[in-house]
Structure 1
Amino acid sequence: MRFAVLSFPGSSCDVDMYHSLLDIVGVGVEIVNHQDANLDNFDAVVIPTGASYGDYLRPGALAQSSKSIESLKAFAASGKPVLGVGNGFQILAEAGILPGAFLRNKGLKFRSGNAQLTVQNSSSTFTSNYEQEQRITLPFAHEFGNYYVDTDTATQLKEQNRIVFTYEDGNLDGSVDKIAGVLNEQGNVLGMMPLPERAVEEMIGGTDGLPLFQSILKNWSEKNANHA
C-alpha cells in the first residue's frame, strides 16, 4: 500500500506523518508537493497538519485553491481513503470535500495538549481496529479547532453515523456536538483535529493513534485480497 502525504507551503508536520507511516506502520509513502497534482499511483492520501500558506485569510482557505485540490477531489470520488488531520481537516472543509467550517477556539487562544476522545463509529475504514465507544488519548495543537456545522447538518451527520470521534474532556474549544472527526457521505474521507501520527510510539505520546493507520491498511488489504 502506498500513501501520499500531500504537502503545502507551511505543512510543517509532513515529515512527522512520513515517519509514522514508513517506520512505524510499515507502508510505502512519499511526500508529494501540492504542485504535483498526480495522485494516480497512490492508494491513500494524507493531508498533514501545520499552517498551510501561513493560515492567511483563514486556515485552509488558500490551500483549497491549489491545482492539487481537483486531483484530490477525483481521488476521493474514486473511493480511496483520504485522511486530513489538523490543518488537513481544515483544508478538506474549505475545499468542500467535508462539511463544516472552523472558528477560533472559544478562548481565542492557541491550545495544545492531549485530547480525550470517544470512538463513536468503529466500523469505518479508519477505525475498525478500535472498539465502539473506546476512550483514547491523542495530541492536538490548534487555534482554529472550533468545528462548526448548522443544526440540520449536525443532525444528518448523526443519523448517517458520520461522526467518528468526539471530545470527552470538556470540549474547551467549542466544537458543535463535541465533534472531533467526521466522514464524508461515501465514508472514505476522514477529517479530524487531533493528531494520530503523534501517538504511534510510547516514547512520544502513547500508541492510541496507531490503530487508525492499521485500520486503513487492514481494510485496503482485505479489499484487494477479495479482488485478487
Structure 2
Amino acid sequence: MTIGVVTFPGSLDDSDALRAVRIASGDAVSLWHGDADLRGVDAVVLPGGFSYGDYLRCGAIARFAPIMEPLIDAARGGMPILGICNGFQVLCEAHLLPGALVRNDHRKFVCRDQRLRIENASTAWTSSYEDGQEIVIPLKNGEGGFVADDATLDRLEGEGRVVARYLECNPNGSYRDIAGVANERGNVVGLMPHPEHAVETLTGPSTDGLGFFTSVLMSMAAA
C-alpha cells in the first residue's frame, strides 16, 4: 500500500510524515505540489508547515496548487486523505472539509504535548483506535482554532464527524474543543495536532500517533 506525502513550498513536516508511513509498514511516496497527478498512490497525507508562507490565509494558496485538482477528484472518489495542521487548513480551503482554522484565541503560537480523545474510530484514519480512547500527541500551531457556524457544528456532532477532541485544555479556542473532523464518507480527515511526531519511543511523547497510519493501511487492505 502506497501513501503519498505532498510537499508544498514551506512544508516542514513532510519528512516526518514519510517516516511515519514507513514505520507503519507502508510504502511512502513523495509528491510535489506542482505534480499533475498522484503517481498511483492509494492514499495521501497533506503535512504540516507553512505552505507558500501562509500568505493570504493558511492553506489558501496551496489549495490552488496543481496537485490539488487530482487530489480533490480522488478524495471525492473515496481515496483516504489526511490533512495534518497546515494540511487540515488546506482541506478546509478546498472545501473537502467544513469550517475554517483561525488564529489562536490567545494570539500566541502554542507547542505542547496534547491529550486528545478519539471520538470516531470508524474513519479510514482512526480505525486502529477505540471510540473514547485517550491519546497524547504533539500540537504546534498559531492558527489552529477550528470554527464553524452552529448549524455546521451541530451537523458534525450529530453525524459523528468529530474525529478527535481536546482534553484537559483547549489550546487554541477551537469551538467545542474540536481537534479534528471528517467528511461524510470518513475517508477525508483533518487533524490539528501532529500524529507523525508520536510514532517512536525515542522521540516521544508516545507512540499514540502511529494508529492514524496503521489505520489507513488496514482500511486499504480490507477494501
Question: What range describes the TM-score normalised by the shorter chain of this pair?
Answer: over 0.9
After TM superposition, the structure 1 = structure 2 runs for residues 54-69 of structure 1, keeping only pairs within 5 Å, are 54-69=53-68
**2:80 matches 1:84:** no
Rounded Cα–Cα distance in structure 2 between residues aligned with 1:34 and 1:169: 37
The match for 1:19 is 19
CA distance in structure 2 between the aligned counterparts of 1:104 and 1:91, rounded to whole angstroms? 15
C-alpha offsets along residues 148-206 of structure 1, whole Å, 9 cap, x if unaligned? 01100000001111001000121131101110010011210000001000000011111
TM-score normalised by structure 2 residue count: 0.97
| RMSD value, Cα | 0.9
Could you tell me which residue of structure 2 aligns to residue 96 of structure 1?
Answer: 95
Cα deviation code 1:72-128 (max 9, x no counterpart): 111101101000001000000011111111111011011111111001111222111
Q: CA deviation at 1:37?
A: 2.4
Equivalences for residues 177-188 of structure 1 within 5 A: 177-188=176-187
Q: Percent identity?
A: 43
Matches within 5 A, 1:1-228: 1-22=1-22, 24-39=23-38, 41-205=40-204, 206-223=206-223
Classify the secondary structure of the residue corresponding to 1:204.
coil
Whether the 8 Å contact between 2:122 and 2:186 is mirrored in structure 1 is: no
- Conserved 8 A contact 1:200-1:207: yes
Q: Which runs of 5+ in 1 are unaligned?
A: 224-228
Residues 105 and 145 of structure 1 are in contact (CA less than 8 Å); yes or no, is this contact kept in structure 2?
yes
Contact map agreement 1:40 1:75 (CA 8 A) in 2: no
Extract unaligned runs of 5+ from structure 2: none
| Structure 1 position 40, deviation (Å) | 5.2
Query: In 2, distance between residues paired with 1:60 and 1:195?
Result: 17
TM (norm. structure 1) is 0.95
